[in-house]
Structure 1
Amino acid sequence: MDLSSLPQHQKVATVAHVLREEIVLKGQYGTAGQLPTEPELMDRFGVARETVRRALQLLKDTGVVASVQGRGTFVRERPRRATLQRELRPQGGHVDRTDHGAEPWIPLHRGARWKRGTVPLALTECLCLDGKVAIWTSLLGDAKTGTPLQLARTYVPLHVVEKLPSIEEDSTGGAAVLKRLAATGPALSWQLEVGARMPEPAEASQLNTPIGIPLIQTLRITRQAGRVVEATESVVSSERFRIAYLMQDDSGTPDSSAERH
């Protein structure tokens, strides 16, 4: 394959594309096989070492391959994707359960506490929150192994904190916010949005997922008298999970024939 006439970025993209097709579509290296060495790839594609390394890094970022120190580059074994059966709560929020009905999460945040900060730019517009807010970060993991799997952040505007200063003193974090807000006056209303976004480097590290794998994002927005008083964003790896909402028929009986997505 002669790539000599291509600019550098196209050489990198071409090498990555060819290797991805061989790994993902053709299964040429098996489910956990070793790729050729860097010198072998340099000879095959007629490119410099830096081009090969950048191409392999693209494949690492998207979870196609993984490096083992002192051994080389291998096809990455992808985790088995599990289904989260999501139940919406009338009082806001949701509960995730496994196919067997068990709650899959345990809190892993020890010594966590409320901090002051700002809402990420990507959420500012949909939350209508700017300036300083109180933030609670929660890392949740597998109930059996303790593996980190879900990252959640609760944002509370400072006008709510000033009204209920004990919120920041609560050691349970975001779990107590809705209960306290419900007791303060006007009824609460909720909006639940499900989307996707790419992880920040720190999030990818916390969830042990490649930086190129999208996250499934669930955003709960709580309003009181028309104002946003609380928002919680939770994210899980789209490589590890899919989310299913169980539909019900008109009688309120779960419809087992409902299609799951």
Structure 2
Amino acid sequence: MTTDVVGQLARLDPTSDRAVFRQIADSLRDAIERGRLGEGDKLPSEAQLVNHFGVARMTVRNALQLLQTEGLVIAEHGKGVFVRPRPPVRRLASDRFARRHRKQGKAAFIAEAEQAGVKPEVDSLVVKQEAPPKEIAARLGSTRKVLARHRRYLHEGRPVETATSYIPLDIAQGTQIAEPNPGPGGIYARLEELGHELDHFDEEVRSRMPLPEETRALQLNAGTPVIHLVRTAFDTDGRAVEVCDTIMAADAFILGYRLPAR
């Protein structure tokens, strides 16, 4: 297949002022975007690209490195360079916290993973009392200690998300929320059982490059950004009852929203 793809790659334009390695990257990127190279497909070898474009091996390597930095491809030592798989999970922000999921005994992560047809798993969980970060304390309206639930989520065995929930101690202490397993429906179901009927959630989402510890925790490939999402849950009295600080591998999710037109 790669031989056929090589023959379809655009030739270099000697009149262009665009660097040669960027032209090669443009050609390979176009093949990916047009579907000539699909998810998981192996790119032509360095030798094939050197022969096709008539350039030095280092020029080809620079082109491939550019595509890796953009997050389009991944290199596997001793095997080659492959098109990076597309995001497997669509996170429906307007639906994932619907009360019906809690009534079915499903926490939000489980509900969305099942809808995407993947197997969800939590492989790391730490529950402890701690002083919240300044930003979290501001959202909760208190600088006192909170109950923090740190966890890492996997899809089909791959780390894709870390999340820490911060809940005021006067709500969580001595309840099932402080247990490793908060029970069916997760902590939101427990909050409502405790009389904190949830009214709405505020979310802030931004994209950035990962910190070193985030790269390690999510086992990110070079060039992969993260989605940093901070969500605050409010009860019907207007009190912030939980803040969840989430880091997601950007290549593992699509964020979907339904917005009312009026």
Is TM more than 0.5 here? Answer: yes
**Structure 2 partner of 1:69:** 77
Question: Is the contact made by 2:129 and 2:147 (CA closer than 8 Å) also made in structure 1?
Answer: yes
**Structure 1 partner of 2:233:** 222
- How many Å apart are 1:191 and its aligned residue? 1.3
**Structure 1 partner of 2:8:** none
> Are residues 228 and 173 of structure 1, via their aligned partners in 2, closer, same or farther at CA, if it must alter by over 3 Å?
same
Partners of 1:68 and 1:105 lie apart in 2 by 25
Partners of 2:87 and 2:200 lie apart in 1 by 32
Question: Is the contact made by 1:192 and 1:218 (CA closer than 8 Å) also made in structure 2?
Answer: no
The 5 A counterparts of 1:153-192 are 153-156=164-167, 160-161=168-169, 165-166=173-174, 170-172=179-181, 175-176=186-187, 179=190, 183=194, 188-192=198-202
**Structure 2 partner of 1:146:** 157
User: Is it true that 1:113 corresponds to 2:113 in the alignment?
Assistant: no
State the superposition RMSD in angstroms. 5.0
Partners of 2:45 and 2:85 lie apart in 1 by 16
> Are residues 20 and 215 of structure 1, via their aligned partners in 2, closer, same or farther at CA, if it must alter by over 3 Å?
same
Partners of 1:12 and 1:135 lie apart in 2 by 48
Q: What SS class does the counterpart of residue 63 from structure 1 fall into?
A: coil
Gap runs ≥5 in structure 1 = 248-261
Gap runs ≥5 in structure 2 = 1-11
When normalised by structure 2's length, the TM-score is 0.57
- How many Å apart are 1:24 and its aligned residue? 3.4
Question: Is the contact made by 1:108 and 1:141 (CA closer than 8 Å) also made in structure 2?
Answer: yes
> Are residues 69 and 146 of structure 1, via their aligned partners in 2, closer, same or farther at CA, if it must alter by over 3 Å?
closer
Partners of 1:77 and 1:198 lie apart in 2 by 19
When normalised by structure 1's length, the TM-score is 0.58
User: Is it true that 1:81 corresponds to 2:94 in the alignment?
Assistant: no
Deviations along 1:80-125, one digit per CA (max 9) or x if unpaired, are 735567443339874325348x784222115x2336465487x888
Q: What SS class does the counterpart of residue 27 from structure 1 fall into?
A: coil
- How many Å apart are 1:188 and its aligned residue? 4.8
User: Is it true that 1:33 corresponds to 2:43 in the alignment?
Assistant: yes
- How many Å apart are 1:245 and its aligned residue? 7.5
- How many Å apart are 1:244 and its aligned residue? 6.1
Residue identity over aligned pairs, in percent, reads: 17
Question: Is the contact made by 1:114 and 1:134 (CA closer than 8 Å) also made in structure 2?
Answer: yes
Letter paired with 2:190: K
Partners of 1:135 and 1:171 lie apart in 2 by 11
**Structure 1 partner of 2:3:** none
- How many Å apart are 1:5 and its aligned residue? 7.3
Which structure has more helix as a fraction of its residues? 2
> Are residues 117 and 199 of structure 1, via their aligned partners in 2, closer, same or farther at CA, if it must alter by over 3 Å?
farther
Letter paired with 1:232: C
> Are residues 149 and 28 of structure 1, via their aligned partners in 2, closer, same or farther at CA, if it must alter by over 3 Å?
closer
